[in-house]
A and B are shown apart, each in its own frame.
Chain A
Amino acid sequence: MLTIKILGSGCPNCKKVEAITRQIISDMGMTAEVIKVTNYPDMMKYPITSTPGLVVNEKLVCAGRVPSPAEVTTWLTTAELEAL
Chain B
Amino acid sequence: MGVLSFLLELLQGGLANLAAYLAAHVLLCLLPAFFIAGAMTALIPKESVTRFLGRNTPKFVSYPAAALAGSVLAVCSCTIVPLFAGIYKKGAGLGPAITFLFFAPAANILALTYTGVAIGPDLAFARLFLSLAFGIGIGLILALIFRREDADHDRLTDETFAGSGHLRLPVLVFLLVLVALLLAGTLKISLLTQTYAQVALPGAGLEQFQASLNRLVPFDPTKGEEGVTVQGVLLIGLLASLGLAAWRGFENIHNGFNRWTWAALCLAGFTLLFAAAGVIPGSEGLQLVFSGKFFGVALALIVLAYLARRFLTPDQLRDWLWESWRFIRQIFPLLVAGVFLVGVVRQLIQPQWIESLAGSNTLLGNLAGVMFGVFMYFPTLVEVPIAKMFLGLGMHRGPLLAYLMADPELSLQSILIIAAIIGRAKAWTYVGWVALFSTLAGLIYGSWVDGTSAWVLLAYLAGFLAVLAASLALINQHNASRTALALKNQGHTP
Verify A64–B329 contact, CB threshold 8 A. Answer: no
Verify B322–A51 contact, CB threshold 8 A. Answer: no
Which of A20, A47, A52 is B78 in contact with, Cβ under 8 Å?
A52
Verify A49–B86 contact, CB threshold 8 A. Answer: yes
Which of B83, B318, B326, B420 is A50 in contact with, Cβ under 8 Å?
B83
Which of B50, B254, B420 is A20 in contact with, Cβ under 8 Å?
B254
Which A residues are CB-close (under 8 A) to B417? 40
Which B residues are CB-close (under 8 A) to A64? 46, 79
Distance A20 CA – B253 CA, assembled complex (angstroms):
12
Residue picked from A16, A47, A48, most chain B C-beta under 10 Å: A47
Interface residues of A in 49-70 (CB under 8 A from B): 49-52, 64-66, 68-69
7 inter-chain pairs at a CB distance below 8 angstroms, sorted by A residue, are A9-B81, A12-B330, A40-B81, A43-B82, A44-B89, A47-B160, A49-B46
Q: Residue on A with the closest CB to B325?
A: A12
Which B residues are CB-close (under 8 A) to A47? 90, 159-160
B190 at the interface (CB under 8 A from A): no
Q: Identify whether the interface residues of B are mostly helix, strand, loop, or mixed.
A: helix
Interface residues of B in 146-175 (CB under 8 A from A): 159-161
Q: Residue on B with the closest CB to A14?
A: B78
> Distance in Å from the Cβ of B361 to the closest Cβ of chain A?
39
Q: Residue on A with the closest CB to B47?
A: A49
> Distance in Å from the Cβ of B107 to the closest Cβ of chain A?
17
Verify B254–A50 contact, CB threshold 8 A. Answer: no
Which of B160, B255, B315, B420 is A49 in contact with, Cβ under 8 Å?
B160
Which of B78, B86, B161 is A44 in contact with, Cβ under 8 Å?
B86
Verify B86–A48 contact, CB threshold 8 A. Answer: yes
> Distance in Å from the Cβ of B16 to the closest Cβ of chain A?
32
Distance A52 CA – B41 CA, assembled complex (angstroms):
13
Distance A65 CA – B50 CA, assembled complex (angstroms):
16
Which B residues are CB-close (under 8 A) to A68? 254, 315, 318
> Distance in Å from the Cβ of B42 to the closest Cβ of chain A?
7
> Distance in Å from the Cβ of B450 to the closest Cβ of chain A?
42
Which A residues are CB-close (under 8 A) to B46? 49-50, 64
Verify A49–B76 contact, CB threshold 8 A. Answer: no
Knowing A13-B78, A48-B82, A66-B322, the reply to whether A40 touches B421 (Cβ < 8 A) is yes
Q: Which residues of B contact A (CB under 8 A)?
A: 42, 46, 50, 73, 76-79, 81-83, 85-86, 89-90, 159-161, 254-255, 315, 318-319, 322, 326, 329-330, 417, 420-421
Verify B254–A16 contact, CB threshold 8 A. Answer: yes
Distance A34 CA – B161 CA, assembled complex (angstroms):
27
Per-residue CB proximity of A13-24 to B under 8 Å, as 1/0? 110100010000
Q: How many residues of A contact B (CB 8 A)?
A: 22
> Distance in Å from the Cβ of A74 to the closest Cβ of chain B?
13
A81 at the interface (CB under 8 A from B): no
Distance A14 CA – B160 CA, assembled complex (angstroms):
20
Verify A69–B82 contact, CB threshold 8 A. Answer: no
Interface residues of A in 1-17 (CB under 8 A from B): 8-9, 11-14, 16
Which B residues are CB-close (under 8 A) to A44? 82, 85-86, 89-90
Distance A33 CA – B290 CA, assembled complex (angstroms):
59
Verify B319–A65 contact, CB threshold 8 A. Answer: yes
Closest 4 CB pairs of A and B: A47-B160, A50-B79, A11-B78, A49-B83
> Distance in Å from the Cβ of B481 to the closest Cβ of chain A?
35
> Distance in Å from the Cβ of B426 to the closest Cβ of chain A?
15
Distance A12 CA – B76 CA, assembled complex (angstroms):
11
Q: Residue on A with the closest CB to B315?
A: A68
Q: Residue on B with the closest CB to A67?
A: B254
Knowing A12-B326, A12-B330, A68-B315, the reply to whether A40 touches B82 (Cβ < 8 A) is yes
> Distance in Å from the Cβ of A78 to the closest Cβ of chain B?
19
Knowing A11-B77, A20-B254, A69-B255, the reply to whether A50 touches B82 (Cβ < 8 A) is yes
Which B residues are CB-close (under 8 A) to A9? 77-78, 81
> Distance in Å from the Cβ of B68 to the closest Cβ of chain A?
14
Q: Residue on A with the closest CB to B420?
A: A40
Which B residues are CB-close (under 8 A) to A20? 254
> Distance in Å from the Cβ of B154 to the closest Cβ of chain A?
10
Verify B255–A51 contact, CB threshold 8 A. Answer: no
Residue picked from B86, B417, B420, most chain A C-beta under 10 Å: B86
Q: Residue on B with the closest CB to A20?
A: B254
> Distance in Å from the Cβ of A6 to the closest Cβ of chain B?
13
Which B residues are CB-close (under 8 A) to A14? 78
> Distance in Å from the Cβ of A18 to the closest Cβ of chain B?
13
Knowing A12-B329, A12-B330, A66-B319, the reply to whether A49 touches B254 (Cβ < 8 A) is no
Q: Residue on A with the closest CB to B322?
A: A66
Which B residues are CB-close (under 8 A) to A69? 254-255
Distance A12 CA – B50 CA, assembled complex (angstroms):
24
Distance A43 CA – B42 CA, assembled complex (angstroms):
21
Distance A47 CA – B79 CA, assembled complex (angstroms):
13
Verify A66–B254 contact, CB threshold 8 A. Answer: yes
Verify B79–A49 contact, CB threshold 8 A. Answer: yes
> Distance in Å from the Cβ of A37 to the closest Cβ of chain B?
12
Distance A14 CA – B79 CA, assembled complex (angstroms):
12
